[in-house]
Structure 1
């Protein structure tokens, strides 16, 4: 049996552990992804787009005409047309020299002379070339998240691929941590990562080490086995395969989390308990995924606190917040019941050097729902 893991006598401050770890990370190489695969990924530099539509197109069904030929036309004073107009359907390319579309009943084509029964302004019933996408526009700026609206533009412009960064996350889930591993996988996919999940055959260091294969991923996240219980051996396994940068982090919840490197690839050890993994996920894994994907810094949202928050000096505590009446209502601090995680709109990291926030103090929180 493996000897019991121990936490260090002194916990590593969260900023020190995070910064030492993140400083080793660089963005992954961009790739060409199909639009369906690029959703939620982080955009890389892309070439400028051509204008769309490439030419004027009809936006309604009707007769393609020149507005100049219709001046003065009405049902009481029809205007003869020099030639029979072309019929166009929505999406059709406009005939040369035509700059408007009239409804079917605005043209009398029953007799030998075709007559217009209404006027039209230039541009009526059509979309101008470049009106949806101007020539030279970017589909999305590098570092931004690719959303469904960006995919709409890509498909409309006929782009078969989108240039994006998509980190590959390998989750090593120890037996018993299914709920936490599923949470991590869901969150990672929502951040645009490609996720694979593997479960070691046992909770001992040898079985865990065998699952820590960094050759086919950009980041490894283990779930469970980070504490000092008799079945906890994750930290020993990481140490056998690579380097432990910090184990025992001054973070509440989540103090048994760890970060390290295996074959130059980052590895983070998440506690098996969902609430502890939640705190470690947002403070350690999300910044790593953002660094690997080249994401622009996530914005915070500032609101005053509806109630004070008390915090213990010497440890970074996570607070859950709910937006209510243009203020942050604290739901939980340090101890995070799952029902509060489900209700929270944002989270806040209270610095280890702070005793908390007074009521009415402005707090910059990270949104849990983008």
Structure 2
């Protein structure tokens, strides 16, 4: 049932209504070149121990440590045979347990001499040292990174299982206005591992915007623009006409004029047209929906004390942008985001509506804004 539209709807009930009954999208196999940045789904394949057998970790001479005891530049030892030369990544010869640096073996004379000793395992990467047997190719629910692709290639895989939400973005900007915010939202969606299809409303009246909700099947519909008090801001009215509106005007700043709804089982979110308002709505409402659809692990904040206090209005959730200064979070903007704060911010923090903010030196758990697991 829709919430009343005459007053602000709390962020928590609005988000709960969006997430109600929502499950992660079905996994699919993606080529390694397309999997980077996506959220990993579970795979039946598990890796053998890495490396499978002892390998050389440096270029040098494969030896048995026991044969080198006492050898030094002042007291070289004679070897019964010339040791085997190995290069990084080569399988260690049978009976050898260390790799001696190149300059410590002298084979120029009739007798091969060694000028240094090594401990067992020195210069060697032992079997299973990189990764124990039975590990997954990629950790389910985590963002696939370059190291995951390295492991997959070493395992001989060409594809990884991922969950990629399909998002349809509809720009409802007024005619003649630039669509910077829409492209900004699309960029953030892509960073979050979503597949994005962008369209534009043919006109800015309620009937046309309502009709724009129809289109290719997707997992999330986002509209950008038309949510405020302008004479042509009728996106929420369009939602109401289609019977999809859950709430318009959220107790959230920035992002107060965000509208949310459900078209059948598909969540629908309308973000404000200004960049800071769009970002506030994205962080508080769109990102949790994407995380649920992609099966992402719960985001974990980085706990550090504040360098100075954050003041917040009671009754509304305010988003704070934070920059990292050594071992502290420095507030850059609260509730109103200049572009400079948006580009410099390292993390964000939601100040709950029942809080007046946080005093300086208060430890807070801020969510990283830049790409991470």
For the superposition of Structure 1 and Structure 2, which TM-score range results when normalised by the shorter chain? 0.7 to 0.9
Is contact 2:167-2:221 (8 Å) kept?
yes
Q: Does 1:134 align with 2:132?
A: yes
Once superposed, what is the RMSD of the aligned Cα atoms?
Answer: 2.9
Q: Take 2:68 and 2:335, find their aligned partners in 1: how far apart are those partners?
A: 73
Q: Does 1:195 align with 2:193?
A: no
1:284-323 equivalences under 5 Å are: 284-323=285-324
Q: Take 2:122 and 2:352, find their aligned partners in 1: how far apart are those partners?
A: 59
Give secondary structure in 2 for the equivalent of 1:153. helix
After alignment, is 263-272 or 149-158 more displaced? 149-158
Q: C-alpha displacement at 1:360, in angstroms?
A: 4.8
1:23-42 equivalences under 5 Å are: 23-42=20-39
Summarize the Cα distance change of 1:77–1:344 in structure 2 as closer, same or farther, 3 Å threshold: closer
Q: Does 1:257 align with 2:258?
A: yes
Match of 1:336 in 2: 337
Give secondary structure in 2 for the equivalent of 1:149. helix
Summarize the Cα distance change of 1:126–1:265 in structure 2 as closer, same or farther, 3 Å threshold: same
Is contact 1:168-1:193 (8 Å) kept?
yes
Match of 2:275 in 1: 274
Match of 1:171 in 2: 169
TM-score for both structures, normalised by structure 1: 0.85
Aligned to 2:9, which of 12, 32, 42?
Answer: 12
Is contact 2:5-2:247 (8 Å) kept?
no
Is contact 1:242-1:263 (8 Å) kept?
no
Q: C-alpha displacement at 1:317, in angstroms?
A: 2.5
Q: How many residues align?
A: 363
Match of 1:231 in 2: 232
Q: Take 1:304 and 1:101, find their aligned partners in 2: how far apart are those partners?
A: 47
Q: Take 2:104 and 2:309, find their aligned partners in 1: how far apart are those partners?
A: 68
Give secondary structure in 1 for the equivalent of 2:15. helix
4+ residue stretches of structure 1 with deviation over 6 A? Answer: none
Residues 41-78 of structure 1: per-residue CA shift (max 9 Å, x gap): 22222343211121222233333333344455566554
1:66-105 equivalences under 5 Å are: 66-71=64-69, 76-81=75-80, 83-105=81-103
Summarize the Cα distance change of 1:63–1:327 in structure 2 as closer, same or farther, 3 Å threshold: closer
Give secondary structure in 2 for the equivalent of 1:208. helix
Is contact 1:238-1:244 (8 Å) kept?
yes
Q: Does 1:353 align with 2:351?
A: no
Residues 242-262 of structure 1: per-residue CA shift (max 9 Å, x gap): 622212222222222111122
Q: Take 1:281 and 1:101, find their aligned partners in 2: how far apart are those partners?
A: 54
Give secondary structure in 1 for the equivalent of 2:14. helix
Q: Take 1:158 and 1:234, find their aligned partners in 2: how far apart are those partners?
A: 50
User: Unaligned regions of 5+ residues in structure 1, if any?
Assistant: 1-6
Q: Take 2:311 and 2:76, find their aligned partners in 1: how far apart are those partners?
A: 80
After alignment, is 181-190 or 209-218 more displaced? 209-218
Summarize the Cα distance change of 1:367–1:109 in structure 2 as closer, same or farther, 3 Å threshold: closer
Q: C-alpha displacement at 1:278, in angstroms?
A: 1.2
Q: Does 1:158 align with 2:156?
A: yes
TM-score for both structures, normalised by structure 2: 0.84
Match of 1:149 in 2: 147
